[in-house]
Amino acid sequence: MARTVDPITLEVLNNRLREIVSTMEHLLFHGGYSTILRESKDGSAVITDRNGCAVYAGSQLHLTPYHFTLQALLKQYPGDSMREGDSYIANDPYLGGVFHASDVAIVTPIFHQGVHLGFTASIAHKSDIGGMVPGSASGASRELYHEGFLVPGIKYATAQGPIDDVVRLLMRNSRQPEALRGDLQSQLGCTRVGADKVKGLCDEYGVETILAAFQELQDLTEARVRHGLQQWPDGEFSGETEFEADGRLFVQPVRFNVRIRKQGDGITFDLTGSSPQVASPQNIRPQSQLAAAALAMITSMDPSIPLNYGALRPISLVSKPGLVTEAEFPAPVGSYFASTAMLYSACLVALANFNPARAVASSGFGTSGPVLGYKQARSGKAAVSYELMSPSLGGTPLHDGSLAVNPMHQYTPYTPVEILETEYPVRLERVETIIDSAGPGRFRGGLGYRKRYRVLSDCTLNFRRMQAGQPQGIFGGLSPLRVRSSLNPDTPHEEVLTRSAAFELKSGTSFQFQSQGGSGYGDPLTRDTHRVLDDVLDGYVSVVGAERDYGVVIDAATMRVDEAATAARRHSAGVPGTPPQE
């Protein structure tokens, strides 16, 4: 690859671009109004070239929706029709490129002395955009229109500021209009600051150098990915995950199937073995396909590779419209995240065969976090509490899985208990890990955990269930404990939540959510006995579970490993001894 920017300057510019995106995201989160943006940080920022290809993205998960959104926007508004000071808005997962309608994109073109350089953009989840229930993304959705307002890509602002008619229309369609407007303003502001800072780079280095750097940074990432693929053996392997689609009168088994073919420096993900699309919101669109494939590939290769559009070039997707992996309009896609995470896990299972040294067992599946709609929160106004709950990661060749970490981009902070109880009429009565909930393995998965709430005023609970087939351990690792959520737990009136629905809760009602642990890596009977004992002492594994799952016999009186009994127990299970550990 011929270079026009010297390596030192290119590295400096790469870090300057990263600094600009970090600044944009700092402004985005600190200027946000809703808890899902300012506390959970469910948003990001990006700098792209003039073709809408990401040069530096703050969230690896959002790399593909940025690309799809910019491609759709450029079809509607060619670059020569844009003017400095314009900004655009889109949230349509079919005519735009976001994952689901609750993700709203703001895009601002970058001009320097009349030259169109590229774009800055931001995607952020909105706590409410209308739709069937508070929080918009309902598990009971049967078509896209149930999931809130749709913006196919229109002008949102000019050099004079946001277009008032557009803002008023959007606010009228939200149960939380002030939070919506505040979050949109934060997105708009951060993209404009980012655009100004990129123009400042042009003043320092010149337009030609910046445009060349945009291209060369993508080319370098592509080269690293292709080099990594060349180190893998050629071949074909498959992975699959299953779940039950939650229909109105039925439960429908559905599968995500992927066949991965690697040849030379290219890789193909074939999804045509997946089930047809369903009448519930677990469908996904091509932007989710590509995100799952790309992130699984990088995870299995080298996570230090910078993620920009260059990482996507070696990937080919084979799919067809009408599948659960490529739903046709107007199928709902509100629960895209759980589905994309399951496809990601299926990809990891297949990719483990190409590079076992970086194999990762499946993260937990299951239920999304609680969404509560209040007619009157502590502010005295109507409000929506949209909380995210991540499962735990699977085990790896070197480490146990981490607790409560997002499975694809490993970054989604929780809303602090203090914020929830201060802003909403709710009390958190219990937040705890669940003993024996991790998938056993030589390196176990992260634990599952539960959170118990008590509402202090009447409200609506939007519950989205995704009963999945068990996450798969790899190389002998086992699956974690299944999830179980309920209303009025530990009472004679307990109701286990088995279907997606909106529940009207009376003040004083309690409910409990569980998140699933990760699955295990390697045969659990080869786990170091001292690690098992530590887990028992830490309350992660019970004495019974230690013997049942790991073949480790612990004296409950002394809390020490009975080495002789353990050797006999493991020998009877076909494991004559524990191999040396790393």
Higher pLDDT, 115 or 576: 115
What is the per-residue pLDDT for 382?
A: 86
What is the per-residue pLDDT for 580?
A: 32
Q: Is the pLDDT assigned to residue 498 strictly greater than 90?
A: no
- Please state, in angstroms and rounded to a whole number, the distance separating the CA atoms of residues 247 and 266: 39
What is the per-residue pLDDT for 248?
A: 53
| Confidence tier at 468 by pLDDT (50, 70, 90) | low
Q: Is the pLDDT assigned to residue 372 strictly greater than 60?
A: yes
Q: What are the pLDDT digits (tens) for 148-173? A: 999 999 999 999 999 999 999 999 99
Q: Is the pLDDT assigned to residue 267 strictly greater than 50?
A: yes
Rounded to the nearest 10 degrees, how much is the dihedral formed by the CA atoms of 416, 419, 422, 428? Answer: -20
What is the per-residue pLDDT for 519?
A: 95
**Tokens 């990809």 — which residue?**
347
Q: Is the pLDDT assigned to residue 499 strictly greater than 80?
A: no
Of 445, 226, 462, 255, the closest CA to residue 342 belongs to: 255
Q: Which residues contact 264 (CB under 8 A, 6 or more apart)?
A: 229, 230, 234
Among 10-14, 35-39, 214-218, 542-546, name the one with the lowest average pLDDT.
35-39
**Percent of the chain scoring above 90 in pLDDT:** 76
What is the per-residue pLDDT for 80?
A: 84
What is the per-residue pLDDT for 575?
A: 58
Amino acid at 498: T
Q: What are the pLDDT digits (tens) for 118-154? A: 999 999 999 999 999 888 888 788 999 999 999 999 9
- Please state, in angstroms and rounded to a whole number, the distance separating the CA atoms of residues 141 and 160: 38
> CA-based angle 522:528:532, to the nearest 5?
100
Token output for 127: 């706590």
**For residue 258, what are the β-bridge partners?**
239
**Percent of the chain scoring above 70 in pLDDT:** 95
Instruction: Please state, rounded to an integer, the average pLDDT across all residues of the chain.
Output: 92
| Confidence tier at 466 by pLDDT (50, 70, 90) | low
pTM for the full predicted model:
0.92
Percentages (nearest 5) of helix, strand, coil residues in the chain? 30, 25, 45
Distances (CA, A) of 177 to 130, 190, 420: 10, 20, 19
Total Cβ atoms within 10 A of residue 515: 26
What is the per-residue pLDDT for 577?
A: 41
Q: What are the pLDDT digits (tens) for 322-364? A: 999 999 999 999 989 889 999 999 999 999 999 999 999 999 8
Token output for 576: 């004559």
What is the per-residue pLDDT for 195?
A: 98
**Tokens 């076909």 — which residue?**
574
Whether 173 and 129 have beta carbons less than 8 Å apart is answered as: yes
Higher pLDDT, 40 or 104: 104
Among 13-17, 333-337, 481-485, name the one with the lowest average pLDDT.
481-485
Please count the helices (runs of H) and the strands (runs of E) in the chain.
12, 22
Token output for 359: 């194999």
| Rounded average pLDDT over 258-280 | 96
Residues in the chain: 582
Q: What are the pLDDT digits (tens) for 42-68? A: 999 999 999 999 999 999 999 999 999
What is the per-residue pLDDT for 138?
A: 81
Distances (CA, A) of 482 to 230, 246, 336, 439, 453: 38, 17, 21, 10, 20
Give 1's DSSP letter.
-
| Rounded average pLDDT over 33-41 | 91
- Please state, in angstroms and rounded to a whole number, the distance separating the CA atoms of residues 118 and 214: 9
Distances (CA, A) of 498 to 250, 335, 340, 465, 507: 12, 16, 21, 7, 22
| Confidence tier at 200 by pLDDT (50, 70, 90) | very high
| Confidence tier at 247 by pLDDT (50, 70, 90) | low
Q: Is the pLDDT assigned to residue 579 strictly greater than 50?
A: no
| Confidence tier at 578 by pLDDT (50, 70, 90) | very low
| Confidence tier at 465 by pLDDT (50, 70, 90) | low
| Confidence tier at 390 by pLDDT (50, 70, 90) | confident
The gap between the terminal CA atoms of the chain, to the nearest Å, is: 40
Q: Is the pLDDT assigned to residue 558 strictly greater than 50?
A: yes
The HSE-up count of residue 278 (CA atoms within 13 Å, CB side) is 32
